[in-house]
Chain A
Amino acid sequence: MRNIAPTPPSSARRLRWLLALPKLGIVLLLTAILSLLWLLHRNEMEEERAALIKDVLWLEQSLRFHLNSNEEQLQQLAADLTGQAGAKKLFRLRAGHQLKNNPEISQLLWFDAQGSVIDALPTTTLPDQEIAAFGPPVAAKAFELASRLGKRYYSEPFFLEGNRAVVELMNPIFDEGQLKGMLVVVYPLDALLGNLVPWWFTEKYKVEIIDDNDIQYATKTNIDSKGSQSYEIPFDPPGFGMKLRISNYQNADNSLQRGLTLAIFALAAGVFWSLWIVRDLMKKRSQAEEALSAEHAFRTAMEDSLTVGMRARDLNGKVIYVNPAFCKITGFSREEIVGTSPPMPYWVPEQIEETFAQHQRVMAGNAPPDGFEITFMRKNGERFDALVYEAKLIDGKGQHTGWMASILDVTERNRAEEFARMQHEQLQFTSRLVTMGEMASTLAHELNQPLAAIASYNTGCLNLLDRPACDVREIRPALEKIGVQAQRAGKIIRRVHDFVRKSEPKRAPCALGEVIEDCLGFVEPDARKRRIRIECTIPGLPPIPADRLMLEQVLLNLIRNGMEAMAATPEADRVLHIATETTDSELRISVSDQGCGIAPEIRDKLFTAFFTTKPEGMGVGLSICRSIIEFHRGRLWAEDNTHSPTGSGTIFAFTLPLEAA
C-alpha cells in the first residue's frame, strides 16, 4: 500500500491557479458585458426618454391645436349665429359639419341665455342630466362662468353614466354685448384620446388623462402593461390640474436585450459549469498522474532495490534497459551497456562462441525455462558465474517486443557449494582419521590392561625369586595368570584385525572416466582462480572394481597437490596433465604438473604418515592415498616430470588391477 503525499505537490497548486484564471477571466468578461449592457440600456433609456418627451410635446401640441381649431370654428359659429334669420338651419349645417369632421366631439349643444337647449346635435338630450345626482352640475358652473366672463370656458371634467369622463367647452354667444346664448361642445375624454392620438402613437405609448390625485379620466391603450418610463405634462386646455401621462411600452427591442442578457448569463453559467467539469476532470487527471508517478517511483525503487540484475533486449538483441543491480554485478555503467548489441562487453573473450550460440538460442526463443548458467566477465576482468533466466518482454499492447532476463551472480553460491563439498570431503576424511584415532586409543587402553597385569605379576614373581626363602610353588599361580593375560591381549589384537577388515573399501564396478570427470568438475573453479589449464585425455576405459569415493579422494588429493605445486610457475606453463594408460592387467593413471618438483631429501618421506611440507597440512594425505591404492591392490609412486618445459615438475602415478582378485 502506498500513501499519496498529504501535502499538495506544486503541480496541484499550479493546476489550481490554472483553473482559477479562466474563472477570473469569465467574471471580468461578465462584468464588462453587464456594464456595457447597462450603459446601452441607460443610453437607450435616455434616448427613449428624449423620444418620449418629444412625442409627448408633439401630442400635447397637436391636441392643443386641434382643440384650438375647434374653438375657433365654434367661435366662428357663435359669431355667425347672431343676427341670422336662418340661424337654426345654419347651426344644423355647421354643427353637423363639425361633428362629422371631429369625431372626438360627442355632442354640440346650443343653449339660449337662460340655459335651455335651443338645438343640439346629434341628440337634444343633455348629457349632464344624467349625472344630476352628482352634486352641483359642473356644467352649470361652467355655463355661469362662461357667461360671466363672456368668453369660452372649459368645464371641469365630470363623469357620466358608465364612468365616462367628459369635458365641456362653453362658448358664449354675444350680440352687441348681450349674451344671446351658449354653444357647448361635449368632449368625452376617451373619445378625445381615441380620435386625436394617432395609431402609431398608441403602438408605442400608453396615453392617460389623470389629475393630481391620480384619478384616471381616460386612457387609450392597446395593451395594458407596465411601461418602463412615463412622462406627465399638463393638459391645458381644458386644465383644472389635468395631465397627460404617457408611458412607453416594453418594446420588442427591450425584450431582445433582456433575452441577450439572459443568454449571456446562461452562457456564463454554462462556461462555469463546463469549467467545473473540466476542473473535476483535471483534478482526476492530476490525481491519476500523481498516482502514476508514485507508482513509477515505487516501481523504480523496487527495480533499484533488487539484488537480481535485470536486462531487457529488443528483438535484435540490442540492450534497451538494465537495472542498477545489473550494473553492480557487471561493473559496467548503464551508459556503457544500454544501446550495445552482441558481443557484449561482459562476455568472456575466450568463450565468445559458446556465449554467442547461447545468445542465438535465446533470440530464437529456445532459452531453457529453468534458466542456464554462464560465465560472464566484470569490467575489471574478474569472471563470475551467472544464472540467467530469459522471458519474453511483452509491451502494453500485448506485442512481443524483446527479451527480459534476470541475472543472478551465483559465483558465491557455487563457491559456497564447492566449499561445502570440500568441507564434507574433509570431514569424511577427518572422521575416518578420528575413527582411526579413537580406535588406536581404545586399542591402546585395552591392551594396556593385560600388559599392566602381566607386568605386575612378573615384578611380583621376580620380587619373590629375590627372597632367600623362595618357594617356587608360590610363583606358579602368578605365572598361570600371566598366561591368561597374554591370551587376553591376543584377543584384543584379533578384534583390531576384524575392525580393519570391516573398513576395507567397498568395491563396485566403476567407470574411471566418470570418476576423473567428477573430480575435474570439482576442482575447475579452483583451477580457474589459479589460472591453471587442466589437460585431460580419457579414452574409453573398462570399468574396474573399486571404491569410487576413495578413488575420488586419491585423485583430488593428487590434482590439488599438483595445482599447489604450480603456484610459483609462470602463468603460461601452469598446465596439469591427467593421462591414463591401459595394459592387459592394469590401468595406469598419472597426474603431471610443471611445478616446483620434489626435493630429493623429501622424496623418501613423501608417503610417510604425519610428514608434511604444507603449513596447514596434516601429513596424512599421501599416506592415506597410498593406503587406499594398496587396498585396491595397486601401487602409488611419484617421479620427476622430465618432459616439463619449466625443467621441474612431478608426476604422481598409480596403478589399479583390471580384474578383481
Chain B
Amino acid sequence: MSAPQAHLVDDDDAIRDALAWLLKSRGLPCATYASAECFLAAWSPAMSGCVVLDMRMSGMSGLDCFDQLRERGSILPVIFLTGHGDVPLAVGTLKKGAFDFFEKPLNDNELATRIAEAMELDTRQRAENATVDSVNSRLSSLTTRERQIMELVLAGKFNKVIADELNISMRTVEVHRANLFDKMQIKTAVELANLLKPGR
C-alpha cells in the first residue's frame, strides 16, 4: 500500500500549485494531476489518502472521473471543487457517496481540514477492511464440524448441550472448540461474538 496522500486533480496550474502550497503549510502530503485522465492512469487499488477533484475541467470532467473511480471499486474519499452554479450538481455527488464539496474561491483552512479528515477516514476504512479480510480468511480455514460448533457456541450453548445435539462426546466437542479458538485467534466466546458482530 502506497503512503496516504491528497491527490489534487485540477486543470488550472495555479490552483494546483496554490492548493499544494496550502496543504504543505499544514503538513499534508499531496500529489498533483493536470487532468482526470492523468489521475486515472496513475490510480491503483493500493492508492490511499483522498482525491480532490475539480468539477469543471477541459477533457474529462470531475463527475465522469468520480464515476470511473466508483466503477473501479475505489474506496478513496472524494472532495469536489466547484465553481458557482455547480452546487446542485455537487449536492448530487454527495448522494452518490462523495465525501464533501467546496465552492471556489476556497475557504482558507476549511478545505485543508476536510482533506485531513478524509485521509483519516480512508486510513480507518482500510484498517477495518483488513480486519474483515483476516476474519474471513480465518473463517474459511474452519472445518465443517468446527463451523457447526462455532454456530452453537455463538448461540450461547454449553459444551454438554452441544455434545448432545451433535451426538458426539463432550471430549470431542472440547477438542474441536480448542481448535476453533486457535484458528480464530481468540481466547473466549465473547471475543468470538465481537469479532463476528459486524459481518452478521
Contact = CB atoms under 8 A, between A and B. Distances in A.
A451 B84 contact: no
Interface string A431-468: 00000000001001100111111111111111110000
Interface in A112-154: none
A638 interface: no
B14 A453 contact: yes
A484 interface: yes
Interface in A388-422: none
B18 interface: yes
A547 to B, nearest CB: 31
Contact of A445 (B21, B26, B84, B111): B84
Interface stretch (B101-109, B134-142, B151-159, B161-169): B101-109
Given A448-B104, A463-B26, A456 B85 contact: no
Interface in B1-27: 12, 14-15, 17-19, 21-22, 24-26
A221 B108 CA distance: 166
Contacts of A445: 56, 83-85
Nearest to B23: A460
Query: Taking each of B22, B106, B107, which has the highest tally of chain A beta carbons within 10 Å of its own beta carbon?
Result: B22
B112 interface: yes
A485 interface: yes
Contacts of B19: 456
A457 B84 contact: no
Given A448-B104, A452-B106, A459 B112 contact: yes
A488 interface: yes
B8 to A, nearest CB: 10
Given A459-B108, A460-B25, A452 B85 contact: no
Nearest to A463: B25
A515 interface: no
Query: Taking each of A445, A453, A458, which has the highest tally of chain B beta carbons within 10 Å of its own beta carbon?
Result: A453
B112 A451 contact: no
Contacts of B81: 452
A439 to B, nearest CB: 13
A478 interface: yes
A456 B25 CA distance: 10
Contacts of A444: 83-85
A484 B26 CA distance: 23
Given A444-B84, A448-B104, A449-B104, A459 B22 contact: yes
A445 B81 CA distance: 12
Interface string B80-96: 01011100000000000
A478 B108 CA distance: 14
Contact of A456 (B18, B56, B83, B84): B18
Contacts of A285: none
B105 A448 contact: yes
A457 B83 contact: no
Contacts of A454: 18, 105
A424 interface: no
A101 B194 CA distance: 189
Contact of A455 (B24, B25, B83, B105): B105
A461 B25 contact: yes
Contacts of B56: 445
Contact of A481 (B14, B25, B84, B105): B14
Interface residues of B, number: 24
A463 B109 contact: yes
B112 A449 contact: no
Nearest to B11: A449
Contact-residue bracket for chain A: 20 to 34
B21 A448 contact: no
Contact of B21 (A451, A452, A478, A488): A478
B12 A462 contact: no
Given A444-B83, A448-B83, A464-B25, A455 B106 contact: yes
A484 B14 contact: yes
Interface string A480-494: 010011001000000
Contact of A441 (B85, B105, B108): B85
Contacts of B112: 459, 463
B82 to A, nearest CB: 9
A452 B22 contact: no
Contacts of A484: 14
Contacts of A461: 25
B109 A456 contact: no
Interface in A165-224: none
Contacts of A481: 14, 17-18, 21
Given A457-B18, A481-B18, A452 B24 contact: no
Query: Taking each of A448, A450, A451, A464, which has the highest tally of chain B beta carbons within 10 Å of its own beta carbon?
Result: A448
A484 B18 CA distance: 12
A453 B111 CA distance: 13
A441 B85 CA distance: 8
B108 A455 contact: yes
A441 to B, nearest CB: 6
A209 to B, nearest CB: 148
Nearest to A446: B83
A457 B15 contact: no
Query: Taking each of B18, B24, B83, which has the highest tally of chain A beta carbons within 10 Å of its own beta carbon?
Result: B18
Interface string B29-58: 000000000000000000000000000100
B12 A456 contact: no
Nearest to B27: A463
A445 B22 CA distance: 21
Given A444-B84, A448-B84, A460 B14 contact: no
A478 to B, nearest CB: 6
B25 A453 contact: no
A460 B105 contact: no
A23 B58 CA distance: 104
A490 B147 CA distance: 72
A9 B83 CA distance: 85
A415 to B, nearest CB: 39
A289 B109 CA distance: 103
Contacts of A462: 108
Query: Taking each of A449, A454, A488, which has the highest tally of chain B beta carbons within 10 Å of its own beta carbon?
Result: A449
Interface of A: 441, 444-445, 448-464, 478, 481, 484-485, 488
10 contacts: A444-B84, A448-B104, A452-B18, A452-B104, A455-B105, A455-B108, A456-B106, A459-B25, A459-B112, A463-B112
Given A448-B83, A452-B15, 9 more contacts: A445-B83, A449-B12, A452-B106, A453-B14, A454-B105, A455-B18, A456-B15, A456-B18, A460-B21
Interface of B: 12, 14-15, 17-19, 21-22, 24-26, 56, 81, 83-85, 104-109, 111-112
Nearest first, the 6 A-B pairs at minimum CB distance are A456-B18, A463-B25, A459-B108, A452-B104, A453-B14, A451-B105
